[in-house]
Structure 1
């Protein structure tokens, strides 16, 4: 074995296969480089430099590599909520989704098992498509990683055990029915301005901020990404309409989501990305609060 070790050799092989790789701190799933998506590379010299220094874990940047990875988590005994009653984790939920779509369960692709009993199903994004990370969008205990996300690659190790390739089939293209399910719905039609006296407008705006912050703070694991994204979209509309500053919207949501960080692998960077995505989406549908006239 060379000085690079098992993980460094795996990084070189992944890059040669077309993936963009970067190091994670040893025995963790946390990036060991700043701006990991921009730092991810296929350059063998950079890879040798990283992995000859330390036995870093290996990550693949999904966006640059055109990957969509479906993460099926085990429930670890947690009872499934409606409408997934009886499911024991993401595998069962994916099987139900496939049956509902009249399609086979898409397991005939490169697959990695995780140390905590989950599975990562690797897919190629369709040409021209751009998907983002999701958490619970497809269903209970199913997350996805795409643009703005990364996945811990096979051969990496954590205290709980190894990431292992359990199906070495070629990476399949994302099934059409899954692509449709991961495509955001079209934005609603712009709403008419809300006309309120200045004092009432301020109270109305504050009420919206507090309600969205409360929803985010109270969200339970499995719903937190979707709740934060929805709240960011709501506040983004107010930012787009000039009723709220982008900084106040970010500060409000960041504070509300502070309790999510460190739970089930959620990072501050992921929270920041979700907020940015939601604000940008909402700003395309500005919601004005007009205070130039008094309401009667």
Structure 2
């Protein structure tokens, strides 16, 4: 009918379009979910600010809104409640990531970073958005700042305002001002330490011949240079390679484990890579390599 009004866009579509208009790169999460709607497709390839692409996608379903932090140039602090867990001794008395952040700022005698884009999560948590610095590139972390504080940056995403949990509770916008630059202390605290050189992994204590030493140096260099997203596979491969030397009787398992652990230490605590994961991967790789020894004639 001529002159008829077009039906308003669905609420979640409007929220996705508003996020894109703000400069955020968005992609669809499953309805009521935190996970990408199309798990077989790399969500980073789906992120867009194109309103036509967004409208077309959100017409298909009531998707939640994923915000890709890297292309959006965002660093997001994810502050969670305790969920009934007791804090570790150094954070005794804290009941929320907000309490921990308040202690961190008080210890540095700087203001609590309140005046920025903020979103309340259905679980009682809070997302504080900051404009990511040009350098250094800050990725994801889990507990690096303190108990119940995670961060999302390059390579990560958050659930955007307007989304809902499966029970229908919203991600509610608390402050719609533009994301503020992160305070200097926060950048410093989240900046990964420089990667050590292979010479800092003490190979002098490992009594092996020149061939085995060269192999250790090669694998240490591989581990230390492993980029984000490839650390698990690189460490597993390196441990397997060194394990074959152990299986051949050219190196003890203890020495191999010590060298591999020292090399992996440079990644611990960065982008949620934990000491527990490193230890498990090293053990699995050594077990495989030892079962498939490399027989070498060194004479």
State if a TM-score over 0.5 links the two structures: yes
CA distance in 2, matches of 1:69, 1:139: 15
Q: Secondary structure at the match of 1:169?
A: coil
**Segments ≥4 residues shifted beyond 6 Å:** 209-212
CA distance in 1, matches of 2:134, 2:83: 36
Instruction: Tell me the CA shift for residue 2 of structure 1.
Output: 4.2
1:174 aligns with 2:175: no
Q: Secondary structure at the match of 1:137?
A: strand
Q: Is the 8 A contact 1:137 1:226 kept in 2?
A: no
Q: Is the 8 A contact 2:116 2:130 kept in 1?
A: yes
Q: What is aligned with 1:287? A: none
CA distance in 2, matches of 1:205, 1:99: 44
Q: How many residues align?
A: 235
> 2:208 pairs with 173, 176, 196, which one?
196
**Unmatched 5+ residue regions in structure 1?**
213-221, 236-243, 253-290
Q: What is aligned with 2:278? A: 231
| 1:44–1:140 CA distance, 2 compared to 1 (3 A) | same
Instruction: Tell me the CA shift for residue 202 of structure 1.
Output: 5.0
Q: Which structure is larger by alpha-carbon Rg, 1 or 2?
A: 2
Deviation string, structure 1 residues 103-154 (Cα, Å, up to 9, x no partner)? 1110111100000000000000122331110000000000000011000001
Q: Secondary structure at the match of 2:89?
A: coil
Write out aligned runs for 1:100-179 (5 A).
100-160=107-167, 161-179=169-187
Q: Secondary structure at the match of 1:166?
A: strand
CA distance in 2, matches of 1:48, 1:196: 63
Q: Is the 8 A contact 2:81 2:148 kept in 1?
A: yes
Instruction: Tell me the CA shift for residue 4 of structure 1.
Output: 3.9
Length-normalised TM-score, structure 2:
0.69
Write out aligned runs for 1:255-294 (5 A).
none
Q: What is aligned with 2:225? A: none
Instruction: Tell me the CA shift for residue 16 of structure 1.
Output: 1.4
| 1:2–1:12 CA distance, 2 compared to 1 (3 A) | farther
Q: What is aligned with 1:13? A: 18
Instruction: Tell me the CA shift for residue 292 of structure 1.
Output: 9.9
Instruction: Tell me the CA shift for residue 101 of structure 1.
Output: 1.4
Instruction: Tell me the CA shift for residue 225 of structure 1.
Output: 2.6
Q: What is aligned with 1:274? A: none
Q: What is aligned with 2:193? A: 185
1:75 aligns with 2:122: no
Instruction: Tell me the CA shift for residue 10 of structure 1.
Output: 1.1
**Unmatched 5+ residue regions in structure 2?**
1-5, 210-244, 263-268, 290-295
Length-normalised TM-score, structure 1:
0.70
CA distance in 2, matches of 1:10, 1:224: 28
Instruction: Tell me the CA shift for residue 162 of structure 1.
Output: 0.8
CA distance in 1, matches of 2:273, 2:7: 44
| 1:230–1:99 CA distance, 2 compared to 1 (3 A) | farther
CA distance in 1, matches of 2:277, 2:194: 14
Q: Is the 8 A contact 1:62 1:145 kept in 2?
A: yes
Q: Is the 8 A contact 1:136 1:223 kept in 2?
A: no
